[in-house]
Amino acid sequence: MTAATDLLPPPPAFGAPVEQAPCPEVLQFLARRRSTPALTLQAPGPNAEEVAAMLRLAVRVPDHGKLAPWRFVLLPAEEKAAFAARLEALALARGETKAAAKLAKLKVPPFAVAVVARPRPHEIPEWEQILSAGAVATTLLFAAQAMGYGANWITDWYAYDAEARAILGLEPEERVAAFMLLGTPAEPPLERERPDSAALISTWRA
């Protein structure tokens, strides 16, 4: 079987013309892709080379001002277990058993990547920097799924809690855009209800 990373072409050289051609496979993929519930993500997860490839794709996003206002924190299985244990201790010390139970989604999958937004004071509005972090997270989700892995974008309380963010190693101005949970789907995810795009559209008129 061809490794997912073997299918990935090298990045274009800086300044090289990048031919833009229709890509029916991408349309097929976008029409059918689906996140996998975290609790059904099992081993194997992506290896280091595959994660590096996913992240190389993830940073190819629109980014006003070329600020790259994001970074990644990798949580391989062992490190993720230790991180979850620290969060569990934090929740239990506060008597928050529901919060502790919610950690199952983080504990079960074999790999996670925290996508961190790091907006900085700049003429490019913070809003746009955070939107770019969302684009990075979405592209990471899609790249993982296109490589055949199951993926689930979650946040949950530990994305917002100041102490939990410090345990992750975030600076005060940094924010978690996503905990991207990665693994192999135990079973194909079921299609969920989707919004009717037509109902969301209007045409501006003078």
Ligand X SMILES: Cc1cc2nc3c(=O)[nH]c(=O)nc-3n(C[C@H](O)[C@H](O)[C@H](O)COP(=O)(O)O)c2cc1C
**Cα 89 to Cα 49: distance, rounded to the nearest angstrom:** 32
Question: Between 174 and 205, whose beta carbon lies closer to ligand X?
Answer: 174
What residue type is 197 in one-letter code? S
Whether residue 76 contacts residue 44, with contact meaning beta carbons closer than 8 Å, is answered with no
> CB neighbours of 153 closer than 8 A, spacing ≥ 6?
35, 137, 138, 141, 178, 179, 180, 181
Residues found near ligand X in the complex (CB under 6 A): 34-35, 152-156, 192
Smallest separation, CB 164 to ligand X (Å):
13
Smallest separation, CB 105 to ligand X (Å):
7
Smallest separation, CB 7 to ligand X (Å):
22
Smallest separation, CB 19 to ligand X (Å):
29
Whether residue 131 contacts residue 45, with contact meaning beta carbons closer than 8 Å, is answered with no
Question: Between 3 and 97, whose beta carbon lies closer to ligand X?
Answer: 97
Q: Burial of 167 by CB count in 10 Å (0-12 exposed, 13-18 middle, 19+ buried)?
A: middle
Question: Between 192 and 205, whose beta carbon lies closer to ligand X?
Answer: 192
**Cα 145 to Cα 137: distance, rounded to the nearest angstrom:** 12
Question: Between 4 and 181, whose beta carbon lies closer to ligand X?
Answer: 181
Q: Burial of 51 by CB count in 10 Å (0-12 exposed, 13-18 middle, 19+ buried)?
A: buried
Question: Between 123 and 135, whose beta carbon lies closer to ligand X?
Answer: 135
Smallest separation, CB 153 to ligand X (Å):
4
